[in-house]
Amino acid sequence: MDKQEATTTTMATQTADKPIEELSDVTVRFAGDSGDGMQLTGGQFTRTSAIFGNDISTFPDFPAEIRAPAGSLAGVSGFQVHFSNCDVHTPGDMVDTLVVFNPAALKVNIGDVREGGIIIANDESFGKTDLRKAGYDQNPLEDGSITKQKVHRVPVSRLTREALKDSKLGTKQVERCKNFFALGLVSWLYGRPLEPTLQWIDQKFGKNPDVAEANRLVLKAGHAYGETCELFHSSYRVSKATLPPGKYRRISGNEAVSLGIIAASHQSGKDLFYGSYPITPASDILHHLSGYKHYGVKTFQAEDEIAAVTASLGASFAGDFAVTGTSGPGLALKAEAIGLGVMTELPLVIINVQRGGPSTGLPTKTEQADLLQAMYGRNGECPVAVLAASSPADCFYAAIEAGRIAMTHMTPVILLTDGYIANGEEPWAIPNPADLAKINVVHTTETNSNGNGEGDGFLPYKRDENLVRPWAIPGTPELQHRIGGLEKQDVTGNVNYEPANHEHMINTRARKIELIANDIPAQEVMGPEQGDLLVLGWGGTAGAIRSAVERVQQQGRSVAHAHIKYLNPFPRNLGQLLANYKKVLIPELNSGQLRLLIRAEYLVDAISLNKVQGKPFLISEIETKINQVLANE
Amino acid sequence: MSTEALPQLKAKDFASDQDVRWCPGCGDYAILAQVKKVMPELGIPREKMVFVSGIGCSSRFPYYMNTYGFHSIHGRAPAVATGIKVANPELTVWVVTGDGDGLSIGGNHLIHAIRRNLDVNILLFNNRIYGLTKGQYSPTSELGKKTKSTPMGSVDNPIHPLSIAIGAEASFVARTIDRNVQHMAEVLRRAAAHRGTAFIEIYQNCNIFNDGAFFYASEKDQKHDTTLYLEHGKPMIFGEKKDKGIRLNGMEPEIVSLADGSMKEDDLLFHDEKSPEPSLAYLLSRMRYPEFPEPVGVLRSVDQPRFEIGIQDQVDQAIAKRGRGTLEDLLNAGDTWMIED
Ligand code: SF4
């Protein structure tokens, strides 16, 4: 695997017992049954690394079934973390150390372990039945089939039992502690302190002192095992990353998006209404927000997706900052109501945490296949603003931006994230609240007719220079008005079926969205402003594209990266920018949706790199394609 | 709050400037007239009222009221109303829906608004037909109904609005009839006074596609024997000469005659709209023409916790306990660490 070979400086420092090697970055993956606590183990290891001062990026990967049959391939749950002493943008292409709790986990994951990487296997869960469930005829740990990686067979379960021989816990509870053994062992392997995990155990299991004590003992036993046993000849260190100074926290995309919409509510002075129906992988937004009621947040777990969006529209009409969150299938159900939002010109943010489709598809896997649905998935000509977040932390800023555009342009805004950045975590340099811009929302309190024959009293569709109509809310005297989904006369808002008016309104609604382009920043580029190749991306692929482009740039090639946050309308300078490069490559986790839009809009013959496997891009996949495109000049 | 007396409004003050576009003779006119008549009596300023509807003939209603109004999409009015009421519990919200809008495409939302006891008034105009789409049978059409879409008669059992509402444990359930305007006005007043979901089924004549569907209940020559006007605490008596009553025989209602003196009023079933158990109300909702006189009036009126208040209370409690959240706290929570220069 090239990453580590390229960047690792091996400084074998001899300590008392075992040598320590210094590495620049490491990728560890924990894998086991969905009941083995892999997400918790990975999460704790990540937390420790972040607090230690590494840069991190994570990739939790779990099955759609809560408890698939134990030991089956379908039930394998994994958590990957990439930690480093430098800036990293992805959870890592290849795995340096894989910890597996059963044969199924080995089978599913071994292909991702780099040559020369480490595999730590819980030896005791490789019995005949376990092997059969995973479809192995022979034990792969014994039959010599693993030649490219170093296998460490560790009797995790037995050692856990031994560590707890004096414990009051029952057999089942003892067995459940084994992930802490693995965590202790890997912590030793990479020189991670145990304190943060010990503290966390106290907090989490404080009410259950026997369990807390057992987990502490097993964690320490795992650590001691690494130190003393003969299996590991050396351990590794990844020192602190040189991140810009400041205060940091770990954040996932779903958490960041939640904080972002609360911040937008705060900056606009509007209470937040969040209507949602449970759906993977968006439910965490509902969970997070329901814990922020002291910010004036009202969460509504609706009876279905349609109620979630229509209630949000109702709340918007009544003057709240309204947001609804969902994933692809839910966006499909919300389509008609989003059209109502377009027709009634009410502010509304729709968060779509994309997942593998079509239909129910791959609920827990990532994909970027809802771009065209976001753009066009409604009846009639029905434009909305569309934004995409590019990383877990960027979800915060993208959510504020979605709220700002919705409320100041009186329109539904679809914010696209995806399962990969929603569940993945990275360190986030906490912004200073004073640096967040205010969102200026005005609720009209006066009638606005000028009496020149345009109608009397309050005119709900009389627009400003950006074609934005006034937001007058119920409770305001003298401004009673009716809105609805029927075509309306401009200015008065009265129901109107005249042909010319309909065309005028269609054009006006389209123009209104176009004018948002005056209110968004120009598209930025990483790299030369003109050259051989522009790699153009959107959404959660940012980290992989950026890393790939940086690598090729280091080889002296003329390659740049532009990542589009504003998908509708596009930034004003995008067309010119595309013209500055000989070729444009668009990597996407779909079959070419942005490419379709770019070709249609700018007549640019962009090249596609598509992957639709429910998995994010590897850096190497993009790098290979870039080199290929450059070679075909 | 201002202590100034509100200007005395009249029915016409609640009329918008839009022309009403229902078919001449449609039962909807009578309902609109009664709503406009009752609104000024409530002492609530127009700007605090919101009429919300879905799609269908009845759903044009908000356009004709000089209040705030939201003509939404098919079936979703209860959900839109939920957002409005949660965002601003001080608003008085009326939902106008029909049998197709409320019980077919929007059945789910109707049930959930009711079981949450959202403080809204839901007027379900039941005409047992799809009017706006020109005459298909509706979920309340009687079995065997012949329409454009069912030339050989419908084969599905109808749904009964009151039974659905009571099944969802509505805190206020009533029925009234477009042609009995005084009764309708009284029921509207009661609904407006009720806190929580007030569900009212209004028998409404669609003179174009289902003319006379409820004449058995509205016309002079029949209505005395086919309707039972409910009064809280009173025995259930009906008939032109008040000579018939409803008695409970085991778990079943039965019609008995008071004419021959063998039965007295005390033997009859007494109406109790305040019973915490919805069983009596449900039993009443199952009394259907032609086997029974159909109950008209308030079937149920009980106090229950309200959804929007529950939501607001939790917000208030959280603020009281933790203080109003600041951006500083929001951003700096969780595991944080410093990277020094
Ligand atoms: S179709 Fe029927 S319900 Fe609709 S307006 Fe005409 S008469 Fe009334």
Which pLDDT band holds residue B338 (cuts at 50, 70, 90)?
A: confident
DSSP designation for B269:
P
pLDDT the model gives residue A51: 87
DSSP designation for B104:
I
Rounded to the nearest angstrom, the minimum Cα separation between A534 and chain B is: 34
Nearest to A214 by CA among A158, A182, A166, A154: A166
Which helix (H) or strand (E) segment holds residue A61: the answer is strand A55-61
DSSP designation for B7:
P
Judge whether A56 and A50 are in contact, CB under 8 Å: yes
Chain B's closest residue to A324, CA to CA, is B83
Q: Which residues of B touch A479 (CB under 8 A)?
A: 47
Q: Where are the beta strands (DSSP E) in A407-525?
A: 412-418, 425-429, 482-484
CB contact under 8 A, B70 and A482: yes
pLDDT the model gives residue A414: 98
Judge whether A122 and A154 are in contact, CB under 8 Å: yes
Chain A's closest residue to B90, CA to CA, is A475
CB contact under 8 A, A336 and B16: no
- Taking the centre of ligand 1 as the mean of its atom positions, its distance from the CA of residue B217, in whole angstroms, is 19
State both tokens at B63. Answer: 């356009």
CB contact under 8 A, B91 and A51: no
**pLDDT (mean) for A358-386:** 97
Give A458-493 pLDDT, tens digit per residue. 999 999 999 999 999 999 999 999 999 999 999 999
Domain ranges for chain B: 11-234+271-308, 236-269
State both tokens at B275. Answer: 């019973």
pLDDT the model gives residue A68: 79
- Taking the centre of ligand 1 as the mean of its atom positions, its distance from the CA of residue B203, in whole angstroms, is 13
Residue that has been written with the tokens 């009202």 in this structure: A298
Q: Which of A47, A295, A379 to mutate to test the interface with B (most CBs of B within 10 A)?
A: A295
Give A110-120 pLDDT, tens digit per residue. 999 999 999 99
Fold that domain B11-234+271-308 belongs to in CATH: Rossmann fold (3.40.50)
Instruction: Tell whether the model's pLDDT for residue B50 goes beyond 70.
Output: yes
Cα A475 from Cα A462, distance rounded (Å): 20
With pLDDT > 90 as the criterion, what percentage of chain A qualifies? 87
Hey, which residues does B294 pair with through a beta bridge?
Answer: B227
Judge whether B283 and B269 are in contact, CB under 8 Å: no
Cβ-in-10-Å burial (0-12, 13-18, 19+) of B22 comes to: buried
Judge whether A90 and A616 are in contact, CB under 8 Å: yes
Q: Which residues of B touch A300 (CB under 8 A)?
A: 82-83, 86, 311
A 524-543 → B contacts, CB under 8 A: none
Give A249-303 pLDDT, tens digit per residue. 999 999 999 999 999 999 999 999 999 999 999 999 999 999 999 999 999 999 9
Q: Which of A261, A395, A480, A483 to mutate to test the interface with B (most CBs of B within 10 A)?
A: A480
State both tokens at A296. Answer: 């004036």
B83, B108, B312 member nearest A313 (Cβ): B83
Chain A's closest residue to B341, CA to CA, is A245
Chain B's closest residue to A320, CA to CA, is B87
**pLDDT (mean) for A95-99:** 97
Nearest to B311 by CA among B132, B32, B37, B84: B84
State the DSSP string of A188-231. Answer: HHTT--SHHHHHHHHHHHTT-HHHHHHHHHHHHHHHHHHHHSSS
**pLDDT (mean) for B158-182:** 98
Ligand 1 atom nearest to CA at B57 = 4
Instruction: Tell whether the model's pLDDT for residue A176 goes beyond 70.
Output: yes
**pLDDT (mean) for A142-164:** 94
Closest C-alpha residue for ligand 1 atom 5:
B22
Q: Are strands A150-154 and A113-122 parallel, antiparallel or unpaired?
A: parallel
CB contact under 8 A, B337 and A248: yes
* Maximum pairwise Cα distance, chain B: 102
Q: Are strands B336-339 and A246-252 parallel, antiparallel or unpaired?
A: antiparallel
From B53, B209, B211, B214, give the residue whose CB has the most ligand 1 atoms within 8 Å, as the site to mutate: B209
The larger pLDDT score, comparing residue B213 to residue A240, is at: B213
CB under 6 Å to ligand 1: residues? Answer: B 22-23, 26, 28, 57, 127, 131, 206-209
Chain A's closest residue to B50, CA to CA, is A474
A263 touches chain B (CB under 8 A): yes
Give A154-175 pLDDT, tens digit per residue. 999 999 999 999 998 999 999 9
Ordered by where they begin, the domains of chain A are 2-238 (3.40.920.10), 249-435 (3.40.50.970), 442-519 (no CATH), 531-632 (3.40.50.920)
Cα A46 from Cα A32, distance rounded (Å): 17
Rounded to the nearest angstrom, the minimum Cα separation between A319 and chain B is: 7
Closest C-alpha residue for ligand 1 atom 8:
B26
Instruction: Tell whether the model's pLDDT for residue A11 goes beyond 80.
Output: no
pLDDT the model gives residue A478: 95
pLDDT the model gives residue A231: 77
Residue type, A249: R
**pLDDT (mean) for B49-75:** 97
**pLDDT (mean) for A92-115:** 96
Strands of the B68-71 sheet, one edge to the other: A482-484, B68-71, B49-53, B92-98, B120-126, B198-203, B172-177, B294-301, B227-229
Counting DSSP H helices and E strands in chain B, the numbers are: 11, 12
Cβ-in-10-Å burial (0-12, 13-18, 19+) of A466 comes to: middle
Q: What is the ipTM of this complex?
A: 0.97
Q: What angle do CA B334, A271, B313 make, to 5 degrees?
A: 85
From B31, B129, B148, B208, give the residue whose CB has the most ligand 1 atoms within 8 Å, as the site to mutate: B208
Closest C-alpha residue for ligand 1 atom 2:
B206
CB contact under 8 A, A259 and B69: no
**pLDDT (mean) for B322-330:** 97
CB contact under 8 A, B339 and A245: yes
pLDDT the model gives residue A13: 39
Rounded to the nearest angstrom, the minimum Cα separation between A53 and chain B is: 7
Alpha carbon distances (Å) from A547 to A9, A92, A395, A554, B227: 20, 10, 19, 11, 77
A53, A474, A486 member nearest B88 (Cβ): A474
Which pLDDT band holds residue B5 (cuts at 50, 70, 90)?
A: low
A250, A339, A475 member nearest B47 (Cβ): A475
A86 touches chain B (CB under 8 A): no
CB contact under 8 A, B72 and A292: no
Alpha carbon distances (Å) from A369 to A414, A517, A545: 14, 24, 18
Give B28-42 pLDDT, tens digit per residue. 999 999 999 999 999
The pLDDT mean for chain A works out to 94
pLDDT the model gives residue A187: 95
A262, A344, A480 member nearest B47 (Cβ): A480
Instruction: Tell whether the model's pLDDT for residue A9 goes beyond 60.
Output: no
- Taking the centre of ligand 1 as the mean of its atom positions, its distance from the CA of residue B27, in whole angstroms, is 8
Cα B64 from Cα B94, distance rounded (Å): 13
Cα A157 from Cα A177, distance rounded (Å): 9
- Taking the centre of ligand 1 as the mean of its atom positions, its distance from the CA of residue B56, in whole angstroms, is 9
Instruction: Tell whether the model's pLDDT for residue A519 goes beyond 70.
Output: yes
Rounded to the nearest angstrom, the minimum Cα separation between B129 and chain A is: 22
Rounded to the nearest angstrom, the minimum Cα separation between B318 and chain A is: 5
A 546-575 → B contacts, CB under 8 A: none
State the DSSP string of B203-232. Answer: E---TTTSTTTTHHHHSHHHHHHHEEE--T
Instruction: Tell whether the model's pLDDT for residue A12 goes beyond 80.
Output: no
- Taking the centre of ligand 1 as the mean of its atom positions, its distance from the CA of residue A431, in whole angstroms, is 59
From B20, B21, B23, give the residue whose CB has the most ligand 1 atoms within 8 Å, as the site to mutate: B23
The pLDDT mean for chain B works out to 96
Q: What angle do CA A596, A602, A607 make, to 5 degrees?
A: 50
pLDDT the model gives residue A452: 84
Which pLDDT band holds residue B339 (cuts at 50, 70, 90)?
A: confident
Rounded to the nearest angstrom, the minimum Cα separation between B261 and chain A is: 53
- SS3 of residue A363 by DSSP: coil
**pLDDT (mean) for A506-521:** 98
Integer-rounded Cα Rg, in Å, for chain A is: 27
Residue type, A374: A
**pLDDT (mean) for A7-16:** 38
The end-to-end CA distance of chain A, in Å, is 28
pLDDT the model gives residue A633: 64
pLDDT the model gives residue B6: 59
DSSP designation for A490:
T
Q: Which of B71, B101, B311 to mutate to test the interface with A (most CBs of A within 10 A)?
A: B71
Q: Which of B50, B68, B319 to mutate to test the interface with A (most CBs of A within 10 A)?
A: B68
Which pLDDT band holds residue A453 (cuts at 50, 70, 90)?
A: confident
Cα B25 from Cα A462, distance rounded (Å): 36
Rounded to the nearest angstrom, the minimum Cα separation between A430 and chain B is: 6
Q: Which residues of A touch B85 (CB under 8 A)?
A: 314, 318
Give A532-562 pLDDT, tens digit per residue. 999 999 999 999 999 999 999 999 999 999 9
Give B268-300 pLDDT, tens digit per residue. 999 999 999 999 999 999 999 999 999 999 999
CB contact under 8 A, A246 and B339: yes
A437 touches chain B (CB under 8 A): no
Rounded to the nearest angstrom, the minimum Cα separation between A315 and chain B is: 4
Which pLDDT band holds residue A65 (cuts at 50, 70, 90)?
A: confident
Instruction: Tell whether the model's pLDDT for residue A316 goes beyond 90.
Output: yes
Which helix (H) or strand (E) segment holds residue A584: the answer is strand A581-588
From B21, B53, B132, B210, give the residue whose CB has the most ligand 1 atoms within 8 Å, as the site to mutate: B132
State the DSSP string of A508-567. Answer: HHHHHHHGGGGGSPPPP-BS-SSEEEEEEEEGGGHHHHHHHHHHHHHTT--EEEEEESEE
